[in-house]
Amino acid sequence: EPEVTQTPSHQVTQMGQEVILRCVPISNHLYFYWYRQILGQKVEFLVSFYNNEISEKSEIFDDQFSVERPDGSNFTLKIRSTKLEDSAMYFCASRWTAVVLNTEAFFGQGTRLTVV
Amino acid sequence: RKEVEQDPGPFNVPEGATVAFNCTYSNSASQSFFWYRQDCRKEPKLLMSVYSSGNEDGRFTAQLNRASQYISLLIRDSKLSDSATYLCVVSASNSGYALNFGKGTSLLVTP
């Protein structure tokens, strides 16, 4: 069964360092998302990406964050200068479409980011 | 960002019990509705989509009331394996079709 894969599964980084979280969405999907979940809290939307551009972003997704789909396969989230409060589980998700109602989004297993 | 509100939980029920979860959403332009399930420290996984006419999948029944902006999930004959957090999720075109999650309701089914 096709799946969304994320690497690494766990990343520890020092405050102020840049991190890149990687995702390989399901191959025929067109809509891509990043979410984060701080321990014990809700799953929060960060950004959606379609047709090689950001289609929507939340207030969390400030100038420290960026996304890229560099090669038609990978979908990356970069955090330029990490803060302690960036520590969370980051989930990548993909859907083959969003305009057809009730289309399932498939989530990767997540990257646990710990900023120390 | 428009909100999705869920029962605070947790729900502790014995095996075989019937349990119901409720959810309300504030974005009247919402078009797609889901219940996802999340096990501890795992990714959300789709349990079922929710259709206007209501729909059933085995022991699970979902209902949608667009006028009240209310979604429900009913689990009959609870199993130990149903223990998880149940996430109400809504998507709307006026928010870029992003999935907007509720905080989730925790269910623990006990022997």
Q: Report whether pLDDT(A32) > 80.
A: yes
- Rounded CA-CA distance A79/A34 in Å is 12
Q: Report whether pLDDT(B38) > 60.
A: yes
- Predicted local distance difference test score (pLDDT) of residue A8: 97
Residues of chain B contacting residue A101, judged by C-beta atoms under 8 Å apart:
31-32
**Which residues 24-63 on chain A approach chain B with CB closer than 8 angstroms?**
31, 33, 35, 41-45, 48, 55-56, 58-59
**Region B21-50 average pLDDT:** 95
- Predicted local distance difference test score (pLDDT) of residue B1: 52
Q: Report whether pLDDT(B8) > 80.
A: no
- Rounded CA-CA distance B26/B48 in Å is 21
- Predicted local distance difference test score (pLDDT) of residue B53: 87
Give me chain B's average pLDDT, please: 94
Minimal CA–CA distance to B21: which of B97, B105, B109, B110?
B105
**Region A74-88 average pLDDT:** 97
Residues of chain A contacting residue B50, judged by C-beta atoms under 8 Å apart:
102
- Predicted local distance difference test score (pLDDT) of residue A2: 82
Give me chain A's average pLDDT, please: 94
**Which residues make Cβ contacts (< 8 Å) with residue A116, sequence separation at least 6?**
A12, A13, A14, A15, A84
* % of chain B exceeding 90 in pLDDT: 84
Q: Distance from B61 to chain A by nearest Cα, in Å? A: 16
| pLDDT tens by residue, A53-74 | 999 999 999 999 999 998 878 9
- Predicted local distance difference test score (pLDDT) of residue A18: 98
Minimal CA–CA distance to B60: which of B50, B75, B38, B45?
B75
Picking from A99, A102, A110, the nearest residue to B49 by CB comes out as A102
Nearest chain B residue (CA) to A33: B98
- Predicted local distance difference test score (pLDDT) of residue B107: 97
- CA neighbours closer than 13 Å in the CB half-sphere of residue B88: 26
- Predicted local distance difference test score (pLDDT) of residue B2: 61
| pLDDT tens by residue, A3-17 | 999 999 999 999 999
Higher pLDDT, B69 or B98: B69
Q: How far is residue B90 CA from its own chain's centroid? A: 10
Picking from B49, B98, B101, the nearest residue to A56 by CB comes out as B98
Dihedral pair phi/psi, residue A68, rounded to 5°: -150, 150
